Structure 1
């Protein structure tokens, strides 16, 4: 179990461009800010920035992502030149990138790199060989049947334990397999057709490929039936079931777990968290009941899908045709260099990350961000002390937790050493396998050891931020410490509305419906009085109802339960940022700038962070899987609950941006 709550759907690092914290040209002044503030703040930007053909969603997050990716490209292009003066790190990332970029060589090899792995799968004669094959694929990074790794013990946050979770499906979420609406039925049909085409690319006849695709889908359907739904998975108590290996074996006796753990070089397991035990029973039933040839087909398909980027172009194009065009509405596959940059960032994140930090992270930005964090933490303390719905007993514990929050800004300092990973300029498939095996071994080696609190769960170029409830810390990678989130040339109002709201958002996550269940030490423990827990839940239900009323696309609404944590953090975070801004101003009223008051600029700075638009396919996908609300709802849903906004823009009760009664937890 690993519960990270982030600012946005993870974006990891077009051409570099100038950014500003506030852009007057992004406004749509024909819109009424009290009718639709998002349109007022972002309408101009949306009109001037159509979705690029290689994107399904385009917003200011994505613009910064592309800016960071261009920086990474320049780093990798320089490192990929085979010069004797390169450092060890430059040689690692440069050779990995060079191998990935050689599409002609990849095409010439065909599926030869897959041969040994395919032969191993096809050599299975019975279920007794299954564990060995699954272990081999797991070491290579193929995601089959389940997810296994290390995690903090939710009830002893000082220790790392083994963690076994559901997985093994190719559609985004379990409910995709069961929804009966026409679009969902059609999507499943297209998915099966996609699986069949992948088998045809391997040389399977059309008729045989169709049968194999049906078999893969049947196995995935059974895995999905045994899986926990995405909303229930947000409850940490529903994904914590600590047991022994012996108890696991009784749940799934037909898979040799001891052999799997030995084959993945897992240290001796004293305690194991099985996120959802019914899933293991469902997996065991599949192993017993499924035809061995069908299991082979399932393993082959997932191996090919997971390695498609390092296979000939026709595999890449087919993979994109379903996952990019059909599922997300993206019109064109991203350029090879972009995909290779992302692969290096995913496989060697610390090697590339330290070069990115050298290029971009300034001490002034880190120092200023820390000052903002300090001010917003003080605002939260004042807010907690004044809360009228929380009793002194719970309030005392909340303050202890707040004062225990650690801050990580910019990047880590103890970088991972990849010298044991063999990287070759002419073996992209092998590079990926060896990097995956190294990372799996590194993570599993943590089992049974104390938690290393210096670790980060995002690489430095990532345009995101997150709160970790099990470590009780907030994390701001270097990638997000740039305009439009932080601009050292912008006034306080804009910076507090942008990066200040981000900081407040992450801090509030410690006290949302998930975070509030963990104490100051990161342990899953109930520290609330029954009275206060009920008061929280009643207030939180206001957000559930509010956001469930928003339409994502067509007949699909925002899921107010899935997005509750993020919506709570958005609302609380902006309120904290505003309180901190007022404290910084010290009673002074700065003159208007660009025709806007300080309060107006604060709210505009916040809103313009979320300027974005998406394809209909992406909207539908995100509404079902993403715990974040769409950008428009993140803006309008928050400001309509804030009297300070209504005063700043002279909104009146009865107008859409004046919600009455307002929703508020923090």
Structure 2
């Protein structure tokens, strides 16, 4: 299924993990907590074997820091992209979670886990592929028949049913903080029901090959569902026609991350009136989801898109709409169905679009499914097994040092006037930091599970959708988390003005209790700085310290910000990846701003923390050099050309190589650390550098 997920609380994450890792032999709990007592301080904090010393670090530092690893590492057949740090840690976490789930399934409780029985039931059902092959076609057939036998009057209820199993068609609705009042949750209407990942795939001439492949994929899926090949081809043409019509007025990925575009507050009455033109009973749809939105504010992220939905409803026969709805069910449920559907779904989205050569092992898929379904239940067990209090204390200490460095750096920014600088500091002081795991874990008491995997999937989907929608009209609960504890990632929420670091990422090689400040600040420190900087990127800067969409900028500072941001857009737009696909500077703008700001602030914080230790030589490099090596090696990665091309077109993060190079060329401290002459590739002259925060 497509990988566009709904926005959650204005989250911007450090990394987009798009593949499941392969098995790791290393599951030692001390290592998972970032600590190996058998190794002395500083041991192996830099991977010397990864370094390509045949390359001048002032010419291409990414190749210098990662070249030998890239040369020698063979991509697993089922992994079109693999990161030396992110995926290695994810491997460990996956293996730990696998061991926990297998123990629970065997009736053992190696660590305290309130929901060990539910975890065991869900995992066991997922692993029972024989039962899935027997049960899934029947259940899928029932949904397809229900769609086929419906009338237009059934459409609101039908779409609500699909929404509850996370197979939204035409549009979707979810809970989100009110952009103008972050203490209240409101309903947000968002675009949905397009199988390709970015509108450009539908409308740009250069993507004609992908559209043809997509048509072939839709045809094959309908054939698997029992439609004869001739009609399946007609179905595919119809689906593509409707999706293209929707896509033309959909928001691009870059627009999705711009709150000035996506904030359009209105009322249910106004939205109902819009849908009334198509005789679609929006109130019935809303009620079928268990919602009462009368008198509440609603945010429509893409008004023109909703108008297009109305046009589609008015101009498309209901027989054709039913085919479109059947496709949305098949496409968004494919990974949960029987093998024939899973294989074809993988062949298009992973094989063609990303260049993968094999599917992940079933246990990997099932561990990921459990984490997605019962993330905090599994996360509690993961934390009990792996996470150390000393590591949490040390990282929090780093966070506070980086906060201080960010504030001190504000005084050096001559493009900020005093009024805006003061407002920026006020916002910084209101940041919330969450570390490791929630104070209170989710309650899954009402979740009903059986040994039928697809029924479990649909029950979990309905449980998650209702859990989300029940927040509408209530005060915001800022104790909730947007990622499970074992996730190898971090995020910033503009609505809550918080940075969040799950236990999953606080491990070697990102963080080690015995690592020097240089290594820790270069790796996890730059991640911390990145998330803080998101509060001041082109999207986050539109929100104040309370998480409200408020313009706190003077005109002069705003103009300077825009100019300096455009410099970064232009810089990254010159980089090409894969088969020559350019990075989209607009799409990646917020992340590139955060990368640049995060690295600079982490470096300034490192100098504060290390003091005289910056001169200390470990593994042949002084502290300044190890800081930058640690940063670069945290991004060592390898991918197929197909993956790189798709990533460049659809993802808000730049390619790993240019996340490193793009940040380093703008930071004079790097050139000083490696004695790079001004004008060299990694040390451009001042007028060619892009500096913001």
Q: TM-score w.r.t. structure 2 length?
A: 0.93
Within 5 A, what are the aligned runs for 1:163-242?
Answer: 163-181=188-206, 184-242=207-265
1:101 counterpart residue number: 127
CA distance in structure 2 between the partners assigned to 1:409 and 1:92 by the alignment = 26
Contact 2:254–2:586, Cα closer than 8 Å, also in 1: yes
Within 5 A, what are the aligned runs for 1:352-363?
Answer: 352-363=378-389
Contact 1:21–1:486, Cα closer than 8 Å, also in 2: no
2:37 counterpart residue number: none
Root mean square deviation of aligned Cα: 1.6
Moved more, 467-476 or 586-595: 586-595
- The answer to whether residue 517 in structure 2 is matched with residue 510 in structure 1 is no
Equivalent of residue 38 in structure 1, options 46, 59, 62: 62
Within 5 A, what are the aligned runs for 1:432-471?
Answer: 432-471=457-496
Report how many aligned residue pairs link the two structures. Answer: 662
SS in 1 for 2:487: coil
1:290 counterpart residue number: 316
Contact 2:131–2:452, Cα closer than 8 Å, also in 1: no
CA distance in structure 1 between the partners assigned to 2:661 and 2:580 by the alignment = 20
Contact 1:7–1:502, Cα closer than 8 Å, also in 2: yes
> What are the superposed Cα offsets for residues 575-620 of structure 1, whole Å, 9 maximum, x if unpaired?
1111111111234544311111110000000000000011111111
Contact 2:114–2:377, Cα closer than 8 Å, also in 1: no
- The answer to whether residue 254 in structure 2 is matched with residue 247 in structure 1 is no
Equivalent of residue 648 in structure 1, options 673, 680, 684: 673
Contact 1:21–1:498, Cα closer than 8 Å, also in 2: no
Equivalent of residue 585 in structure 1, options 587, 592, 610: 610
Moved more, 495-504 or 114-123: 114-123
Contact 1:497–1:578, Cα closer than 8 Å, also in 2: yes
> What are the superposed Cα offsets for residues 164-221 of structure 1, whole Å, 9 maximum, x if unpaired?
011110011111101101xx11111111111111111111111111111111111111
CA 1:29–1:354 in 2, change beyond 3 Å: closer, same or farther? same
Contact 1:467–1:473, Cα closer than 8 Å, also in 2: yes
Contact 1:251–1:277, Cα closer than 8 Å, also in 2: no
Moved more, 296-305 or 11-20: 11-20
SS in 1 for 2:360: coil
Contact 2:614–2:624, Cα closer than 8 Å, also in 1: no
Equivalent of residue 334 in structure 2, options 287, 308, 320: 308
CA distance in structure 1 between the partners assigned to 2:297 and 2:590 by the alignment = 29
Within 5 A, what are the aligned runs for 1:484-499?
Answer: 484-499=509-524
SS in 1 for 2:245: helix
Runs of 4 or more consecutive aligned structure 1 residues displaced over 4 Å after TM superposition = 82-88
Moved more, 168-177 or 260-269: 260-269
SS in 1 for 2:525: helix
SS in 1 for 2:472: coil
CA distance in structure 1 between the partners assigned to 2:371 and 2:291 by the alignment = 25
Equivalent of residue 335 in structure 1, options 343, 356, 361: 361
1:15 counterpart residue number: 24
CA 1:87–1:523 in 2, change beyond 3 Å: closer, same or farther? closer
* Alignment gaps of 5+ in structure 2: 1-6, 35-43
CA 1:65–1:87 in 2, change beyond 3 Å: closer, same or farther? closer
CA distance in structure 2 between the partners assigned to 1:65 and 1:593 by the alignment = 27
CA distance in structure 1 between the partners assigned to 2:556 and 2:324 by the alignment = 50
Contact 1:570–1:634, Cα closer than 8 Å, also in 2: yes
Within 5 A, what are the aligned runs for 1:9-158?
Answer: 9-10=16-17, 14-17=23-26, 21-60=45-84, 61-82=86-107, 88-109=114-135, 111-125=137-151, 127-158=152-183
Once the two structures are TM-superposed, the CA of residue 66 in structure 1 deviates from its matched residue by: 1.8
Once the two structures are TM-superposed, the CA of residue 50 in structure 1 deviates from its matched residue by: 1.5
- The answer to whether residue 400 in structure 2 is matched with residue 393 in structure 1 is no
CA distance in structure 1 between the partners assigned to 2:167 and 2:369 by the alignment = 15
CA distance in structure 2 between the partners assigned to 1:88 and 1:455 by the alignment = 18
Moved more, 556-565 or 365-374: 556-565
Contact 1:267–1:444, Cα closer than 8 Å, also in 2: no
SS in 2 for 1:613: strand
Contact 1:10–1:462, Cα closer than 8 Å, also in 2: no
Contact 2:109–2:116, Cα closer than 8 Å, also in 1: no
Moved more, 487-496 or 304-313: 304-313
SS in 1 for 2:205: coil
Equivalent of residue 383 in structure 1, options 394, 409, 422: 409
Once the two structures are TM-superposed, the CA of residue 87 in structure 1 deviates from its matched residue by: 6.0
> What are the superposed Cα offsets for residues 532-567 of structure 1, whole Å, 9 maximum, x if unpaired?
001111111111111111112333211111111111
Once the two structures are TM-superposed, the CA of residue 83 in structure 1 deviates from its matched residue by: 6.6
Moved more, 4-13 or 144-153: 4-13
CA 1:606–1:362 in 2, change beyond 3 Å: closer, same or farther? same
CA distance in structure 2 between the partners assigned to 1:590 and 1:658 by the alignment = 22
SS in 1 for 2:499: strand
CA distance in structure 2 between the partners assigned to 1:548 and 1:473 by the alignment = 30
